[in-house]
Structure 1
């Protein structure tokens, strides 16, 4: 599939929110309840939150779109700076660092090459921040995502707990040099 990768702007907030609502549940464990997913999507993946993030200088959001003006079929979010999570601070080895906070592709486009193109552009955007490394957290149970990140040079360097709703889940912390 041919896509264009570009930096998202505030006008993309609605489309990003729709894509996030579709893709975020795919990354969650089966133990994550529908109520918790619905609340997370409504309060953390809504257009207003995306607009705030898109306006923040530490955030970079890239979208993969099939044609100008069409809804994106994938997106990534980078956040520059030292992580807040003490488990992540202890696990990562490369400073300065940037977090790959989100990396999602519409399920209809899994296996199409979109994720590879998006990852290449995202790693280039991470390099442009001046960071020496990029890290991410991914559920230990998400074998598809863990395999993808492994193919792209992200090594497991530790674990962290991820809080969603009133439950804690375990994430692998993965890092790669830029």
Structure 2
């Protein structure tokens, strides 16, 4: 697998990949298809992703397998949650892995670990001491993966997904050791 930084030219590719991975991860039986499709149409359009790619606080990476995009990650620089452990709560100490997704066909093949390690190495090279992310409390596959990668829970927040208020756990991994 080859991982590369995304460019502005990748907006449509990321929108397509986001739509597929969103349906795979959060569609039926977890959520009704119309709710997932509405989210995709509002939050994962090529125009919206082009804007996110242009945001200097965001960094996207695309995972490629044999010439096809099979996953991606988005890291975003902004203030961590107030419950973030000290001293990683300070400015420039931690970065969020806001999205990290693989096609279901790639899960269980070590690709997720490669993509996550790429993100962790990149964050470390940028001088961050910790990474944090949010994960839906009912996404057991992702929770298990993050636990195996050394993430620990430190709090939660709520995310409005269509008509449902869903709880996401905040997880952190210290990377300065």
Q: Contact conserved, 1:98 with 1:134, CA < 8 A, in 2?
A: yes
Say which SS state the counterpart of residue 89 (structure 1) adopts. coil
Q: Contact conserved, 1:15 with 1:71, CA < 8 A, in 2?
A: no
Q: Contact conserved, 1:74 with 1:103, CA < 8 A, in 2?
A: yes
Structure 2: 5+ residue runs without aligned partners? none
Question: 2:129, 2:46 → 1: CA distance?
Answer: 31
Say which SS state the counterpart of residue 69 (structure 2) adopts. coil
Question: 1:159, 1:81 → 2: CA distance?
Answer: 17
Q: Contact conserved, 1:4 with 1:65, CA < 8 A, in 2?
A: yes
| Equivalence map 1:17-96=2 (5 Å) | 17-28=15-26, 30=29, 32-67=31-66, 70-83=67-80, 88-93=81-86, 94-95=88-89, 96=93
Query: Match of 2:147?
Result: 150
Q: Contact conserved, 1:136 with 1:173, CA < 8 A, in 2?
A: yes
TM-score, normalised to structure 2, is 0.89
Q: Contact conserved, 1:13 with 1:47, CA < 8 A, in 2?
A: yes
Greater relative contact order, per chain length (Cα 8 Å cut-off, separation 6+): 1
Output the aligned Cα RMSD.
Answer: 1.6
TM-score, normalised to structure 1, is 0.88
